[in-house]
Amino acid sequence: MPANNPTGRPDQAAIDTPLRLHREAVPADWTDYNGHLNDGYYAVIFSHATDAFLEYAGIDAAYRARSRRTVFTGEMKIRYRHEVRAGDEVTIETRLTALDAKRFTLQHRMVHAATGTAVADSEVLNLSIDATGPKVAPFEAEIHDRLSEIRTAHEAAAEDEKG
């Protein structure tokens, strides 16, 4: 994980693009009758990657308890590209691609750890939730600032990649 600056927030210069916060091996009981990772378990792995991102961004158990705010998934899209089998390890590459006061979007890419082949992509819309409602509500300032720093770093990297 990248180093933090003295404010406790990720330092833009240290924010990896993409973030690689989650790696997971495929259990045999997650495969289907074709011997491939069952489609529903792609969503589970992407969900684990979103959880890792939330921790990285400071939306952790302590924040949820203190603020009574959480994050719900509003929408998830998955594009399957290549097969994954039992025992394969995958790494998730994550980019924060959109942000406003009440929501953010993550682009996840699942990569076969041994070959580097992209095996699936996911786009996840995440909503800031006031858990006392529950209802959609703006992020607290500290979380929005942290997400903004990550978004700015990822946006700059995307521009650099375009050339």
Spacing of C-alpha 99 from chain mean position: 13
- The 3 state secondary structure assigned to 64-116 is HHHHCEEEEEEEEEEEECCCCECCCEEEEEEEEEEECCCEEEEEEEEEECCCC
Is the pTM higher than 0.85?
yes
For residue 4, is pLDDT > 70? Answer: no
* Banded model confidence at residue 9, pLDDT cuts 50, 70, 90: very low
User: At residue 65, does pLDDT exceed 80?
Assistant: yes
Give residue-wise pLDDT tens across range 109-121: 999 999 999 999 9
- The neighbouring-strand residues paired with 135 are 130
Q: What is the pLDDT of residues 72-84, one digit of tens each?
A: 999 999 999 999 9
CB 23 within 8 A of CB 45: no
List the one residue out of 20, 25, 1 whose CA is nearest residue 11: 1
